[in-house]
Amino acid sequence: MTTTQLITQIKKKKSFLCIGLDVDLNKIPKHLLKEEDPIFAFNKAIIDATHHLCVAYKPNTAFYEAYGIKGWQSLEKTINYLNENHQDIYTIADAKRGDIGNTSTMYAKAFFEDLGFDSVTIAPYMGKDSVEPFLAFKDKHTILLALTSNQGAFDFQTKMVDGVELYKQVLETSKSWENSENLMYVVGATKAEFLGDIRKIIPDSFLLVPGVGAQGGNLQDVCKYGMNTNVGLLINSSRGIIYASNDEDFAEAAAKKAEELQLQMAVELGRN
Amino acid sequence: MTTTQLITQIKKKKSFLCIGLDVDLNKIPKHLLKEEDPIFAFNKAIIDATHHLCVAYKPNTAFYEAYGIKGWQSLEKTINYLNENHQDIYTIADAKRGDIGNTSTMYAKAFFEDLGFDSVTIAPYMGKDSVEPFLAFKDKHTILLALTSNQGAFDFQTKMVDGVELYKQVLETSKSWENSENLMYVVGATKAEFLGDIRKIIPDSFLLVPGVGAQGGNLQDVCKYGMNTNVGLLINSSRGIIYASNDEDFAEAAAKKAEELQLQMAVELGRN
């Protein structure tokens, strides 16, 4: 999916919600455990109940890898279900990969070609030649970690490098990489006060913003400081939506939570 | 495997060689492609021919993920083969993972419990709470990227942060994390001249050193600046060994290349 198509979807659905499919077998409703593939059964029900309220889904690969080959099968079924039934949905593999050039190419093939995701999250520590192999894929996005939502973000990301914070160096430096128009960036909702500065460096880029809800980030603050003329935001909620109930009504409960966020987003889009 | 057991193996085998199992179906001998699982068949032959010459194997997960579920099956078969037949071998999942706390715990379970690796490589960008979930596993090692072997290392890792290079900040900061005795570090062989400074910060830690061979790093330089009284080095070679021949004699050719390195290592250990 291109950036233009994503913006069209956001305007059509009045939503820039991304739902994180971080499925933990200990947290899903007990009655699903008797299904042949409980993770996929859970994802399918969540997708069926929420796809009209969001523009993107983001499975975090850790939650699938933790279940070995069965987990990868669930991930593959989930992305195939989305690509076959909801071509208007943007898909993000939250994988936080990154390696030397020839190895990054293998990861890019895995997520963009083999699995067919629209985008993948990447860690910037190894620099240009670890990211450019992902950027080389046409009509795919590479979502670079800039300022993450966790406490550990203050260990290195906000440290001053040549008079400017490391995460700003990452933003600035990455703009010069080949095919940088395919970049998006991760900025945690818990760091909304940083968004003004971030928008000075990358006014036009899309931001993937995790941390609204369970991690304490505030939707209105994120929009106030982070929204641009093309919206430029994908706000992710995972646990706050998918675990709204762990009973038979889990999918409806998730839809209700997703709708609450979507309605707030419609208000913010009205201001835009 | 504990650090002490690893040192015992190094002294017994007179080798601190790690062989990278980065298997690309386009590069392995054609006759293996008719096997049911060509990647595992290749790995098994390489392991059978070289296990007496090395102390560790390091599959890079990218090369397995690129083949989807089949690739994960090959990875699982490879680690199971090692754990069942060569308990004296140290195993490294070169995965370069790292995420917020609860997600890192899922990755740690995937690699340490589900797959049963001795260690996993981790990117430091997200800081303390993204790494400590890995460190919490007893008798397992977390191998943190410090100074990588690629050109992109100069984009951020060597930038000055509060008067000291970022990779040195990573080394220094990580020493204060809980269970930091379970840390090892990645330092590229192509940056051997940095090893003297690195040893001032982490004199006792093991270093995983990729980049000897195909990437141009020099074994003697790495030993000169990086070896400590407990050896403290695992030197990795991937392509230089496993693709020494792409004919029927590939395993013997790999063993010959591995032996060349092992003999050089025995000389270096003699100096130690």
H or E stretch at B72: helix B68-85
Residue written as token pair 């001053």: A160
The CA distance from A8 to the nearest CA of chain B, in Å, is 31
Is the predicted pLDDT of residue B162 greater than 90, yes or no? no
Is the predicted pLDDT of residue A244 greater than 90, yes or no? yes
Question: In b/e form, how buried is each residue of A79-96, taking b as 16+ CB within 10 angstroms?
Answer: bebbeeeeeebbbbbbbb
Is the predicted pLDDT of residue B267 greater than 90, yes or no? yes
- A72 vs B contacts (CB less than 8 Å): 68-69, 72
Residues of chain B with pLDDT > 90: what percent? 92
H or E stretch at B226: helix B219-226
User: Is residue A169 within 8 angstroms of chain B, CB to CB?
Assistant: yes
Structure tokens at A185: 């960036």
Nearest to B72 among A24, A66, A72 (CB): A72
Is B166 in Cβ contact with A161 (below 8 Å)? Answer: yes
* pLDDT for res A271: 83
Strand partners, B133: none
CA atoms of B160 and B165, how far apart (whole Å): 4
Residue written as token pair 């792409």: B246
Is A148 in Cβ contact with B156 (below 8 Å)? Answer: no
Q: What CA dihedral angle connects A130, A133, A134 and A139, to 10 degrees?
A: 160
Is B106 in Cβ contact with A65 (below 8 Å)? Answer: yes
Contact between residue B16 and residue B233 where contact means Cβ atoms under 8 Å apart = yes
**Across A29-36, average pLDDT:** 97
Spatial CA neighbour of B199 closest among B163, B160, B147: B147
Which chain A residue shows the shortest CA-CA distance from B24? A106
CA atoms of A130 and A148, how far apart (whole Å): 19
Kindly name the residue from B14, B77, B96, B128 that is annotated as catalytic: B96
Q: Pick the residue of A27, A37, A125 with the most B CBs within 10 A to test the interface with B by mutation.
A: A125
**Across B239-244, average pLDDT:** 95
User: Is residue A151 within 8 angstroms of chain B, CB to CB?
Assistant: yes
Question: In b/e form, how buried is each residue of B226-247, taking b as 16+ CB within 10 angstroms?
Answer: bbeebbbbbbbbbebbbbbebe
CA atoms of B18 and B92, how far apart (whole Å): 9
Predicted ipTM? Answer: 0.95
Kindly name the residue from A96, A128, A224, A256 that is annotated as catalytic: A96
**Across B83-96, average pLDDT:** 98
Is the predicted pLDDT of residue B232 greater than 90, yes or no? yes
Model confidence over B179-215: pLDDT tens digits? 999 999 999 988 888 999 999 999 999 999 998 877 7
Domains recognised in chain A with CATH numbers:
3-271 (3.20.20.70)
Q: What is the DSSP letter of A114?
A: I
Strand partners, B217: B212
* pLDDT for res B191: 82
**Across B85-112, average pLDDT:** 96
CA atoms of A3 and B40, how far apart (whole Å): 40
Lowest mean pLDDT among A231-235, B162-166, B249-253: B162-166
User: Is residue A131 within 8 angstroms of chain B, CB to CB?
Assistant: yes
Q: How many CA atoms lie within 13 A of A91 on its CB side?
A: 23
Long-range Cβ pairs for the range B136-141 (8 Å, 24+): B136/B108, B136/B178, B136/B179, B137/B108, B137/B112, B137/B182, B139/B1, B139/B2, B140/B112, B140/B182, B141/B3, B141/B182, B141/B183, B141/B184, B141/B206
CA atoms of B7 and B2, how far apart (whole Å): 9
* pLDDT for res A192: 84
Cβ–Cβ contacts within 10 Å for residue B136, how many? 15
Is the predicted pLDDT of residue A216 greater than 80, yes or no? no
H or E stretch at A250: helix A250-271
Is B173 in Cβ contact with A124 (below 8 Å)? Answer: no
* pLDDT for res A13: 98
* pLDDT for res A259: 98
Is A145 in Cβ contact with B125 (below 8 Å)? Answer: yes
Residue written as token pair 């070995």: A68
User: Is residue A26 within 8 angstroms of chain B, CB to CB?
Assistant: no
Is the predicted pLDDT of residue B82 greater than 80, yes or no? yes
Strand partners, A92: A119
CA atoms of B175 and B179, how far apart (whole Å): 9
Model confidence over B29-74: pLDDT tens digits? 999 999 999 999 999 999 999 999 999 999 999 999 999 999 999 9
Cα angle B122-B124-B130, degrees, rounded to a multiple of 5:
80
CA atoms of A186 and A123, how far apart (whole Å): 10
The CA distance from A193 to the nearest CA of chain B, in Å, is 19
Contact between residue A82 and residue A90 where contact means Cβ atoms under 8 Å apart = no
- A22 vs B contacts (CB less than 8 Å): 103
Q: Is A77 a catalytic residue?
A: no
Q: Describe the strand order of the beta sheet including A164-165 as a list of residue ranges.
A: A164-165, A160-161, B160-161, B164-165
User: Is residue B2 within 8 angstroms of chain A, CB to CB?
Assistant: no
Residue B168 phi, psi dihedral angles, 5° rounding: -75, -35
Is the predicted pLDDT of residue A155 greater than 80, yes or no? yes
Is the predicted pLDDT of residue A272 greater than 80, yes or no? no
Model confidence over A94-113: pLDDT tens digits? 999 999 988 999 999 999 99
Is A109 in Cβ contact with B66 (below 8 Å)? Answer: yes
Is A126 in Cβ contact with B153 (below 8 Å)? Answer: yes
**What are the E-state strand segments in A156-217?**
160-161, 164-165, 183-187, 207-209
- B100 vs A contacts (CB less than 8 Å): 148-150, 152
Contact between residue B153 and residue B127 where contact means Cβ atoms under 8 Å apart = no
Is A115 in Cβ contact with B130 (below 8 Å)? Answer: no
* pLDDT for res A227: 97
User: Is residue B162 within 8 angstroms of chain A, CB to CB?
Assistant: yes
User: Is residue A178 within 8 angstroms of chain B, CB to CB?
Assistant: no
User: Is residue A135 within 8 angstroms of chain B, CB to CB?
Assistant: no
* pLDDT for res B199: 97
Cβ–Cβ contacts within 10 Å for residue A48, how many? 14
Q: Pick the residue of B111, B155, B164, B243 with the most A CBs within 10 A to test the interface with A by mutation.
A: B155
- A148 vs B contacts (CB less than 8 Å): 100, 125-126
- A173 vs B contacts (CB less than 8 Å): 155-156
Q: How confident is the model at residue B160 (pLDDT cuts 50, 70, 90)?
A: very high
Residue B157 phi, psi dihedral angles, 5° rounding: -60, -35
- B126 vs A contacts (CB less than 8 Å): 96, 123, 145, 148, 150, 152-153, 157
One-letter-per-residue 3-state SS of B126-194: CCHHHHHHHHCCCCCEEEEEEECCCCCHHHHCCCEECCEEHHHHHHHHHCCCCCHHHEEEEECHHHHHH
* pLDDT for res A264: 96
**Mean pLDDT across chain B:** 96
* pLDDT for res A191: 82
Spatial CA neighbour of A169 closest among A134, A202, A205, A208: A202
Is the predicted pLDDT of residue A190 greater than 90, yes or no? no
- B155 vs A contacts (CB less than 8 Å): 124, 127-128, 173
Is B62 in Cβ contact with A106 (below 8 Å)? Answer: yes
* pLDDT for res B211: 84
Is B107 in Cβ contact with A65 (below 8 Å)? Answer: yes
Q: Pick the residue of A80, A92, A99 with the most B CBs within 10 A to test the interface with B by mutation.
A: A99
